[in-house]
Amino acid sequence: MTIIFSKIIKIDLIYSYWKILFYFYQKFKMSFFNLFKKKHNMNEVQEYLEKGAVIIDVRTVAEYNDGHVDGSHNIVLDTIEDNIEQIKSFNKPVITVCRSGARSGVAMEMLSDEDVDVINGGPWQNVDQYINK
């Protein structure tokens, strides 16, 4: 009897897991597997920088204060939706960065949905290497 309950619980957990993934897929219009794709193309980062792109760092204030790209704007991921108009007012392409590339990927999707010309720069150090040469 306990084996049956154990299997039911496992099935319920798997169902819950997929239900959560489907929610995020619908919300952010991206698949779970996109998180594992290459987040950026370094040639693309260089092209955007040459076009005068604005760098938006979506990490927390504490993370940003520990190190960041010179001239970047710290707009925490949780506040991106509230700052869409400010970001659009730059009238420039945007490169999003964070610690690993995951949060900046979410920010990129959000901004892209608002018709902002944006790429995911991945970890902030990837973009920093082109700024501080």
Q: How do residues 46-89 score in pLDDT, each as one tens digit? A: 999 999 999 999 999 999 999 999 999 999 999 999 999 999 99
Q: Which residues of 72-104 are buried (b: 16+ CB within 10 A; e: fewer)?
A: bbbbbbeebeeeeeebeeeeebbbbbbbebbbb
pLDDT surpassing 90 at residue 94: yes
| Average pLDDT score, the chain | 81
pLDDT at 8 over 70: no
The partner residues of 118 in beta bridges, in order of sequence, read 94
| pLDDT for the residue numbered 42 | 76
Q: pLDDT-based confidence at 131, cuts 50/70/90?
A: confident
β-strand pairing of 73-74 with 94-98: unpaired
Does the pLDDT of residue 39 top 90, yes or no?
Answer: no
pTM of whole model > 0.75?
A: no
- The H helix count followed by the E strand count for the chain is 6, 4
